[in-house]
Structure 1
Amino acid sequence: MSVEIRNPQGQPLTPADRSQAVAESLKQLARVSRFADRKKGIRSYQSHVKSDPWVPVLFALCFALPTLIGALYYGLIATDRYVTEARFAIRPAIGSVDKASPDAVGTTSGSQMHQMVAQDSLITYAYIHSRPMVEAVEKQVPLREIFSRDSIDYISRFDPEKPIEKFLKYWKHRVEVEIEQTSGIMTLTVNAFDAAESLAITKAILAESERMVNQLSVEARNDALAESTREMKLAEERITRLRLAVRDLRNQDGVLDAQKTNETNLKVLAELRTARINFAVQLGLSQRDLAPESRRIIDLKTQIKDLDDNIARIERQSASQDPEQKRLLSDALTRFEALDNERKDAEKYYAKVIAAHERARIIAARQIEFFNLVVQPVLAESAQQPRRILMISLIAAGSAVLFAAALFARKQMT
């Protein structure tokens, strides 16, 4: 049996039109089959859901119950928390950086100011969450009483009978601190169940932090002064020891000062030769006008002869010394020059140590870094925590994911 396809006018189709008509028919059949498969899959899933009794249970346990509990807690039970924020930074005093520059003797009176400020900032950051901070603040504010009132919900309330270690963990949830790496500004955030109490805790933390920073500054300054004082005493002992060694060398074996003796002889010879030249000039001028037998000529010749004798005597004494005596004098002169040079170096170093000690004393007499409040803490006018809608939404979203995972696991099991 053959079926001939015709157009609406009743005329037979061309081969090209016939092929296009067949292709359109095949596409329509494919669409119908896909729709039928989809409907079949939906019906299969619905029947699976209706036939599996665990699906409602999983829905109730994984989604409905957690969402309901979260909505009840954050909507009706959770106690309002008031947040107080303060910002502060540790800054060097004006002029301290220049005065605390490294000195020439290596004492820590010239420690790097910027590095010390950065270290103190990190110390303060860690100190706020430490046990000494909690104990210091508790002396000013009754922390356990504040966080354990009956008006606070059970989950947020602290049991006052628990030890300090448990309270320290609770403290870290109520007090947060962040530090900006670039500027060094620290942000302190305190959560409490009363606005006035939150402000009081914040002020107590700031006061204790400032006290600790000042104590660190005092200890650093005192350490620098003590080190500079020790260095100065060592320099004094060194220069005293060298001076005694020079004195002993001068008095040893009758040698008072070989260097000064040699310098004195050279100076005397120079003076004698200068005087002889002057007398010789005067004699030459006088001989032009006076007779050789005159008193003036005779006196000048006598003085010149005496000078020649003295010059010759000093030169003979220097040239006629015993070789062993010359060796002893040479050794003494060498040791003396070495000790004298070391003594001069010690005196220069001692002068630098005195200057460094004076610099350390000036720094120790003033505060080199300050605890500066950038943002003052103020009384909160409304509760900022907990964020009820956000927390309920997060719980609902997490419950939905949990329910979907439970359904998938259930389907894999069946």
Structure 2
Amino acid sequence: MSESKVAIKRSDDLNSGSLNFGLLLGASNPSSAEDALYLKEYINSPDMLAALDKQLNFREAFSHSGLDFLNHLSKDETAEGFLKYYKDRINVSYDDKTGLLNIQTQGFSPEFALKFNQTVLKESERFINEMSHRIARDQLAFAETEMEKARQRLDAICKAELLSYQDNNNVLDPQAQAQAASTLVNTLMGQKIQMEADLRNLLTYLREDAPQVVSARNAIQSLQAQIDEEKSKITAPQGDKLNRMAVDFEEIKSKVEFNTELYKLTLTSIEKTRVEAARKLKVLSVISSPQLPQESSFPNIPYLIACWLLVCCLLFGTLKLLL
């Protein structure tokens, strides 16, 4: 019988040296314990048997039992019988105190028992790697899908809404234009106030029909017309005026900013997922490698001899009675 002991650890556990301390303290990680039980079930599964039969010609090897007719495997054995026979030739036990999985394999020769155990370890490592990487791939694929959705939403808003709005209204930023128009109106209002003050000053010593007074009044009227025109661009009720355009533009701009932040979050999430997936990758650590057995525990020689003696006695007794 060949024996090996393994533990399932995360890559960050190995880097931090928690493997040795954990085992010395007799502690096992709940996640590792769960993975070990998964591995135990896989080792006892038809999938593992199929892999072993392909690599070791398992059925052929155990069909040549020599004189050990009690442990003989028929070449025509059913799949169910083959699996039951395989489970009798391997023993997998889990120690919940140390977190170690103990694997014992039997063979009709020490060399086959060793190769049997080594192949089980190789397939177990492949299983753990595949399971670990599949989880990481699924997490990363989900994050990348969400990132692509966020990117598409951002592109749709930027191109279909923002650019279309700017092109249709022939305006780059209605808010900036509205602010500029308001600043201009305030400036013109200040000029008008100053001109009205100057007009009142003129009226203190000039008649109403004086050329200077008439000119000042005309200038004030022209300035007021300009003020009214600029105000109409900002506050007129038509839908193409700056106040309405600024509200619509702010709504689109808010969508763009929100989806931009969402896209940034998905990019950050992908990077975190990559790091976390790499950190949580699991490895099969061989604590005790399988060795070439020096003593035979299978087949059980004394038991086999006793069975043969019993059979011989029965045959001898039967022949004696017949003769």
Shift in CA distance, 142/354, structure 1 to aligned 2, threshold 3 Å: same
Give matches, 1:43-82, under 5 Å.
none
Is 1:202 the counterpart of 2:117 in the alignment?
A: yes
Cα distance in 2 between the residues matched to 1:344 and 1:351: 11
Residues 311 and 260 of structure 1: CA distance in aligned 2, closer, same or farther (over 3 Å): farther
* 2:2 aligned residue (77, 80, 84): 84
1:339 to 252, 271, 276: 252
Per-residue deviation, 1:218: 3.2
* Matches of 1:231 and 1:371, distance apart in 2: 32
Render the CA deviation track for 1:5-39: whole Å, top value 9, x for unaligned.
xxxxxxxxxxxxxxxxxxxxxxxxxxxxxxxxxxx
Query: Quick one: structure 1 residues 376 and 96, their matched pair in 2 at CA, closer, same or farther if it must change by over 3 Å?
Result: closer
Q: What is residue 372 of structure 1 aligned with on the other side?
A: 285
1:131 and 2:49 aligned: no
Instruction: Look up the match of 1:144.
Output: 59
Partner of 2:206: none
Residue number in structure 2 paired with 1:12: none
What is aligned with 1:265?
181
Report the TM-score when normalising by structure 2.
0.66
What SS does structure 1 have at the residue aligned with 2:290? coil
Report the CA distance between 1:136 and its aligned residue: 1.2
- 1:254 to partner: Cα distance: 4.8
Q: Does 1:250 align with 2:163?
A: no
Measure the CA separation in 2 of the matches of 1:130 and 1:198. 19
Q: 1:201, CA displacement in angstroms?
A: 0.5
Q: Which runs of 5+ in 2 are unaligned?
A: 17-28, 192-219, 307-323
Deviations 1:325-358 (A, max 9, x none): 3785444322221221121111111112222334
The letter of the residue matching 2:252 is L
State whether residues 96 and 368 of structure 1, in contact with CA within 8 Å, keep that contact through their aligned partners in structure 2.
no
Contact kept in structure 2, 1:87 and 1:375, CA below 8 Å: yes
Q: Contact 2:10–2:279 (CA<8 Å) still a contact in 1?
A: no
Could you tell me which residue of structure 2 aligns to residue 229 of structure 1? 144
- Match of residue 161, structure 1, among 61, 76, 79: 76
C-alpha separation in 2, matches of 1:383 and 1:176: 16
- The answer to whether structure 1 residue 383 and structure 2 residue 299 are counterparts is no
Question: Which ranges of structure 1 fall in alignment gaps of 5 or more residues?
Answer: 1-82, 99-113, 277-307, 393-414
Residues 224-233 or 83-92, more deviating: 224-233
* 2:162 partner amino acid: V
Equivalent positions of 1:261-300 (< 5 A) are 261-266=177-182
> What percentage of aligned pairs have identical amino acids?
23
Q: Secondary structure at the match of 1:325?
A: coil
The Cα RMSD (Å) is 3.8
Q: Do the aligned partners of residues 95 and 173 (structure 1) sit closer, same or farther apart at CA in structure 2, a change above 3 Å counting?
A: closer
Question: 1:90-140: per-residue Cα shift (whole Å, max 9, x none)?
Answer: 211128999xxxxxxxxxxxxxxx887565433322111112211211233
How many residue pairs align between the two structures?
A: 260
Q: Report the Cα distance in structure 2 between the residues aligned to 1:232 and 1:313, rounded to whole angstroms.
A: 54
| CA gap 1:249/1:155 in 2 versus in 1, 3 angstroms | same
Distance of 1:144 and 1:85 partners within structure 2: 21
Change over 3 Å in CA distance of 1:222–1:146 after alignment to 2: same
Quickly say closer, same or farther: Cα 1:309–1:351, change in 2 above 3 A: farther
1:134-155: CA deviation from partner (whole Å, max 9, x where unpaired):
1211233232233232434222
